[in-house]
Chains A and B, each alone.
Chain A
Amino acid sequence: MRKNAGKKRVRLLGICCNWSPFACYNAAGMNRLAMPPDFRLMRVMCIGRINQALILRAFEYGADGVILLECLDDDCRYGPGPGVGHENVRRVRRLLHLLGIDQERLVECSFGAHEKEVLVETLWRFADEIRTLGPMTEGNVLGVKRPAL
C-alpha cells in the first residue's frame, strides 16, 4: 500500500496530450504499473486545445485536483501546445487563488515519450498532494451537486 492510501477519496482529473504523455500512460498500462485510485484521464490531441474555461470547468464540476500532462516544450507536434498550457495554468491558478481555492490543486508536468516511470511517479505524487489538501468539501460543492464516488 502506498502512503496516504487510507485518506479521504478525492476526485483527480488528468488532461493528457495524445502524444508523448499518452505514450507514457499507455506504456505504463502495458507494463501494469499501478495508478492512483480515483484518477480519471481525459485525452486531448494537444494541450494547446485546452483553454482556461475547460480547466475551470473541471473544478466547477467537482474535481479536487487537475493535472495537465504535456509534451516537452520542443516536442510539440503542432508547435505552441505546451506554451499555451503554461500560460493557461498560470492564469487559472490566479483565478483559483481569487476564488480562495488552493493553487496547488492545479498542476502541469511535461514528459518525453519514454518516461513512463516518471509519469506514474508524478501521478502518485499529485494524488498524494491532493489527498493531503483533502476534498474541497462534501456535498454541494461550487454550485454543483457531485455524484457519489
Chain B
Amino acid sequence: MNEIDRIIRAQALFQCLECGKCSAACPRRLTGKDYSPRLLAHKVIAEREDEAFIENAVWDCLSCGMCSERCPSGVKFSGFILEMRSLLAEKKGLKGYRAHDGAVHSWMRMMTAPELRQNRLDWVPKTLQVADSGEVAFFVGCAPYFDVFFSGIDVDTLSIAKDSIRLLNFMDIKPVLLRDERCCGHDLLWTGDRENFERLCRLNCETFRSAGVREIIVSCPECYHVLSEHMPRVVPGFDIKITLLLDLLQREMRKGGMTFRGLKRRVTYQDPCRLGRMAGRYAAPRELLGLIPEMRFEEMENSGPSALCCGNCGFINCDAHSKQIQVLRLQEARATGADLLVTACPKCLIHLTCAVRDPLRQGSVKMEIRDILSVLANQIAWYGG
C-alpha cells in the first residue's frame, strides 16, 4: 500500500465530512492565511497530483490541534501532519521556514552525538536540593539553552526549572538532575526530522536507564508529550514512569498540609496546546491557581479546549500570521481585565513575550507573562505556617 494511503487510514482522514469546522477554527485561517485543513484533507484524498499544494500546506500547519478538537468525526489531523512531515522530509528534505534560522534545531541535532559531554547543570544554585543518584529525576529539558539564546528578549526560562525544583523540594523530593540528558526532540519530531528525533530518544533512554531512574518528573508540556506518548513507540519496553509536575502538585495539594499565600492579582491563563488539547490537562492548572487566595481568576474568551495557539510550534513557520495570532491572544488576555497572564509552557512564554516586545505594537499589548510553576513556587507555604 502506498505510504500516503496508509497515513490516511491510520489518521482517519476518510472520515472527513468536509464540514469545514476545522478550517473555520484554524488560527492560521483566523488571521487571514490562505490555509485550510479541510482542503488539504480533500486534496490528499482526491487530488493527490497537486503535490505543490499538499507539500506547502503540510509545512504550514502550527499543529496546535484545534482542527482535531473541532472535528465532529474524529479525524486525527495533527497525527496526519506529523506523519506527512516525516514522510515528505525523508523523500524531499526538510522544508518549512525555520524560525531563528534553525538555531534551535541545530543544537538539538548536535545533541545526537553520543560522545557529547554537556555542562548543562552549572546554573543549579546551592539553595536547591538535588540528589546525585536516586529513583526520581527531574527533566530539565532545553531551559538552559533557551535562557542563553533568548536572553535578548528577557525570557528567563531557567527560572521555570529552578521554581520546579523549589516546588519538588517543598514536597520533600530531592530530584536527580541528569548531566547527560538531551533535548526531548519535540521540535525535531514536529519538523519532520524523524531520524535525529529517534536518536535523541534512544540516547535519553540510555541516560535514564544508566542513572537507574524509575520516575521522571517533567515540567514542560512538550517534553511530557514526547516522553509519555512518543518515547514508548520509539524505544520498545520503555517502562520509566513519566509524571507531569502539575499532576503531582495537584495530588499533593489534595492531601492537605500545603497551601498558598495570597496574591492580589487579576490573572488569566493560556492553555498550551500540548498540555490542553494533546494531554487533556485543563483542570489541574485551574484548580491549582484557584487555591491561591485573594487572586481573581478570569477566563479568556477562548479558553480550555478552544484556547488560541501562542502562534508557533516547533520553531517553524513563524510569520506575520503567527504574530497576528499572538496579538489576538494578548488582546483577549487584556480584555479580561487581568494584569498577569499565566501560561504553563516555556514556548508560549517565549512566543507571547516576543509579541509583547514588538516595537510596532508600541506597548499596546503589554502584559506581564509568567509560568504557572513560577507563580505557584512563589506562593506555596505550609498550612498554618
Given contacts A57-B106, A99-B111, A141-B113, contact A91 B149 (CB under 8 A): yes
Within 8 Å by CB of A143, from B102, B110, B145, B149, lies B110
Contacts of A51 in B (CB 8 A): 100-101, 103
A44 contacts the other chain (Cβ, under 8 Å)? Answer: no
A147 contacts the other chain (Cβ, under 8 Å)? Answer: no
Contacts of B100 in A (CB 8 A): 51-53
A-B CB proximity, top 7 nearest: A53-B101, A53-B103, A143-B112, A100-B117, A143-B109, A56-B106, A142-B110
Cβ–Cβ contact B113 & A143, under 8 A: yes
The count of residues in chain A whose C-beta lies closer than 8 Å to any C-beta of chain B is 22
A57 to B196, CA, bound (A): 15
Contact with A along B92-118 (1 / 0, CB 8 A): 000000001111001101111101111
A143 to B197, CA, bound (A): 11
A53 to B145, CA, bound (A): 13
A31 contacts the other chain (Cβ, under 8 Å)? Answer: no
Cβ–Cβ contact B103 & A99, under 8 A: no
Given contacts A51-B101, A52-B149, A91-B148, contact A99 B106 (CB under 8 A): no
Cβ–Cβ contact B148 & A95, under 8 A: yes
Cβ–Cβ contact B107 & A99, under 8 A: yes
Given contacts A142-B110, A143-B113, contact A99 B118 (CB under 8 A): yes
B116-134 at interface with A (beta carbon < 8 Å): 116-120, 122
Cβ–Cβ contact A56 & B113, under 8 A: no
Cβ–Cβ contact A137 & B115, under 8 A: yes
Interface size on B, as a range, is 20 to 34
Cβ–Cβ contact B110 & A60, under 8 A: yes
Cβ–Cβ contact B116 & A57, under 8 A: no
Cβ–Cβ contact A142 & B113, under 8 A: yes
Given contacts A54-B101, A57-B102, contact A95 B149 (CB under 8 A): yes
A99 to B111, CA, bound (A): 7
A148 contacts the other chain (Cβ, under 8 Å)? Answer: no
A51 to B104, CA, bound (A): 12
B80: shortest Cβ distance to chain A, in Å?
27
A51 to B119, CA, bound (A): 23
A99 to B5, CA, bound (A): 41
A5 contacts the other chain (Cβ, under 8 Å)? Answer: no
Contacts of B117 in A (CB 8 A): 100
A144 contacts the other chain (Cβ, under 8 Å)? Answer: yes
Cβ–Cβ contact B119 & A97, under 8 A: yes
B144 contacts the other chain (Cβ, under 8 Å)? Answer: yes
Within 8 Å by CB of A99, from B110, B122, B152, B196, lies B110
Cβ–Cβ contact B199 & A143, under 8 A: yes
Contacts of A57 in B (CB 8 A): 101-103, 106
Cβ–Cβ contact B119 & A100, under 8 A: yes
Contacts of A140 in B (CB 8 A): 113
A83 to B168, CA, bound (A): 41
A7: shortest Cβ distance to chain B, in Å?
20
Contacts of A53 in B (CB 8 A): 100-103, 106
A129 to B107, CA, bound (A): 24
Contacts of B199 in A (CB 8 A): 143
Contacts of B145 in A (CB 8 A): 95, 98
B56: shortest Cβ distance to chain A, in Å?
23
B151 contacts the other chain (Cβ, under 8 Å)? Answer: yes
